[in-house]
Amino acid sequence: MMENGTVPEKNNAVLESRVLIIMTGGTICMRPSPSGFVPARGFQEQCLSRVPTFNDGSPPATIDVVVNAAGDIKSHPSLRTPQTTYGRQVRYTVFEFEELLDSSSIDAKGWAEIAHTIEWNYTLFDSFVVLHGTDSLAYTCSALSFMLQNLGKSVVLTGSQAPMLELQNDATDNLLGSLVVAGHFMIPEVCLYFNNKLFRGNRSSKVAASDFAAFDSPNCPPLAVTTSMRTNVNWQLVYRPRSIQQFHIQTNLDTKHVACLRIFPGIQPEMVDAVLRLDGLRGLVLETFGAGNAPHGQDNAMTKVLADAIKRGIVIVNVTQCLTGSVSPVYATGMSLSNAGVVAGFDMTTEAALTKLAYLLALPDATPDCVARQMSVSLRGELTASSQPVFQHPIHTLPDRVQALTILGYAIAQGDLVRVQEILKTEHDWILNDADYSGNTPIHLAASSPGLPILHFLLLQGGSVHLRNRNGRTPLFLAANAGLAEHVLLLRKSGAHLHSEEQTAAHLLARRRPGVWGLAGIGPQEISNAELEEEEEEKEKSRGSDSIDGLAIRAQRVGSAP
Ligand code: ASN
């Protein structure tokens, strides 16, 4: 039994994860200049290649990076970490943006550049690390969480308080911790890793200007914590996309027509009115006192100003100035705001509320009413939905988890959808991304078992299509290998693609069964010697192994499907 994402050795060879590091700038890459610290280029060569924890000294290898919308590919020198506690090595390359920025200068254009780079390279890498300045990092995390839709892979943003080239810095630990998270755990969220903690990006705020503990997510516990022993992921908290859709991005954010205003004692209704009458303004985040309270103003003047603006079609969202807790209609001063039509932002950070507003307002067909409604609903785990019951299961020990996974595995293999649904009702949903002794998750099992409705159901529960089993195989590979065309199509619709390490074997198998492999994204190709060797290995596996992979090949041989 292995914890999610933990894949041990593959026939004595060590599995490699591929991570694209996207460098946007920030202190992490800065060097001193006469005008103060400025971002500098050459981070991989200058800062990483000489450090043994970032470079195992293996012979140089290049990896492909898609560098523009036209799909142009550039070969990049890569580095590889030594083997981690989890038995993997992380191969990575640093892709530097043309213009490296201090993050206080980043805006929606920079966010879109990050989103596009991830989209272009989505199928080439297992996950992504974004290096970014800390000043506006929480805004970027929040914006990206809305821009990246149906994200199936980990996107980890980090930076540092001191440059990597300073003797005493936090850059080394922050980057290494991010690489380990990205290289081992399929956490399909935009996350922020800092000072040994992994936070949900859209719950985070910068809380310290110079402390190494610069970030916190006061209304949501960390998704993972790194200790001296290991990185412990709180799988119960991990948010997963729950729809049959491929990964795509929405980069159009209306940041020019939203604003943020902090209420203070003595604030005049005319001041608020002046902001609300800014040319073209469509949304305002109001930072209020305590549980969402603001002064009424003489004769309710403040409430009238707000209500008038809402009637003019401006969406006003109420978030608290407090670091923890939520906006809730407890006091008369807060209730009058909601009566005026101000929307409760519950426990959203200002960063999340502002970027969410800009995202929703830019959606096609956005009306003030539907934007207002969506602001109070959790889209990416950015707020705690008060109506959702919180189930607390008894803490399972390892044998219980093994048992639960085995029972689920049998139900999947028997095509018993009702049983599968029953098990998932009572089990933690991280069981979906847990792996058995051969590294197969329930999605792997369902991908190569006949019952299509079970695969459909598990995908809708948030099972990952990207985890690889002990042989390095994705569920898509197993489905194609089993000749299950409908499974292949469903997986592809859910964003699945073959891993780059599966391509050779897939091309080879596609010669025998072009139809189903074509659906998996593989066309017929010439066989090289290397591929012939690989075929022998495949045959060996199918003969000797009792793994799903082997079974799948046997099923294909008896011609189970087109
Ligand atoms: N000014 C820097 C930035 O945000 C601060 C940092 O990265 N620590 O780019």
Q: What is the mean pLDDT of residues 291-316?
A: 92
- 451-484 residue pLDDT tens: 899 999 999 998 999 999 988 999 999 999 999 9
**Which pLDDT score is estimated for 225?**
97
CA dist 447 to 402, 482, 550, Å?
20, 9, 14
Query: Which pLDDT value is given to residue 513?
Result: 85
Helix (H/G/I), strand (E/B), else coil: 396: coil
Cβ-contact 115, 148 below 8 angstroms: yes
Confidence of residue 537 (pLDDT cuts 50, 70, 90): low
CB 504, CB 530: distance < 8 Å: yes
Which of 29-38, 235-244, 301-310, 382-391 has the lowest average pLDDT? 382-391
- Span 283-299, mean pLDDT? 91
Q: How much distance in Å is there from the Cα of 180 to the middle of ligand 1?
A: 23
CA–centroid distance, 164 to ligand 1, in Å, is 13
pLDDT band for position 393 (cuts 50, 70, 90): very low
Confidence check: pLDDT of 556 > 90: no
Give the residue whose CA is nearest to atom 8 of ligand 1: 161
- Give the model's confidence band at 542: pLDDT under 50 very low, under 70 low, under 90 confident, else very high: low
- pLDDT at residue 389 in the model: 39
Higher pLDDT, 119 or 508: 119
Q: Cβ neighbours of residue 514 under 8 Å, at least 6 residues apart?
A: 523, 524
Give the model's pLDDT for residue 398: 52
Domains of the chain: 15-249 (3.40.50.1170), 255-375 (3.40.50.40), 402-558 (1.25.40.20)
Helix 398-413 with 417-426: angle, nearest 10 deg: 160
Q: What tokens appear for 89 in the block?
A: 């090595």
Q: 201 C-alpha vs ligand 1 centroid, how far in Å?
A: 17
Q: What gap in Å lies between CA 124 and CA 106, rounded to an integer?
A: 26
Catalytic residue of the set 27, 158, 255, 333:
27
Classified as helix, coil or strand, 545 is coil
Lookup result for tokens 């608020």: 272
Mean of pLDDT values over 16-40: 96
Give tens-digit pLDDT for 158-173: 999 999 999 999 999 9
Q: Which residue has the higher pLDDT, 337 or 44?
A: 44
What is residue 534's predicted lDDT score, i.e. its pLDDT?
Answer: 59
Higher pLDDT, 538 or 54: 54
Q: Check residue 438 and give its pLDDT.
A: 86
Asked about 255 being catalytic, the answer comes back as: no
Ligand 1, atom 7: closest residue by C-alpha: 133
Ligand 1 shell residues, CB under 6 Å: 26-27, 102-104, 133-135, 159, 161
Mutate to test the pocket of ligand 1, among 134, 136, 140, 141 (most ligand atoms within 8 A of CB): 134
**9 vs 132, which has greater pLDDT?**
132
Q: Residue 345's pLDDT is what?
A: 95
Residue with the larger pLDDT of the pair 426 and 487: 487
Question: Hey, is 501 helix, strand or coil?
Answer: helix
Atom of ligand 1 nearest to the CA of 161: 8
Average pLDDT score, the chain: 88
pLDDT value of position 512: 85
Strand partners, 78: 61
Strands 15-25 and 88-101: parallel
- Phi-psi domain of 553 (left: phi exceeds 0; alpha: psi -120 through 50; beta: other): alpha
How far, in Å, from the CA of 161 to the mean position of ligand 1? 7
What pairs with residue 206 in β-bridges?
215
What's residue 316's pLDDT? 97
3-class DSSP assignment, residue 191? strand
Mean pLDDT of 187-198: 98
Q: Which atom of ligand 1 is nearest to the CA of 25?
A: 9
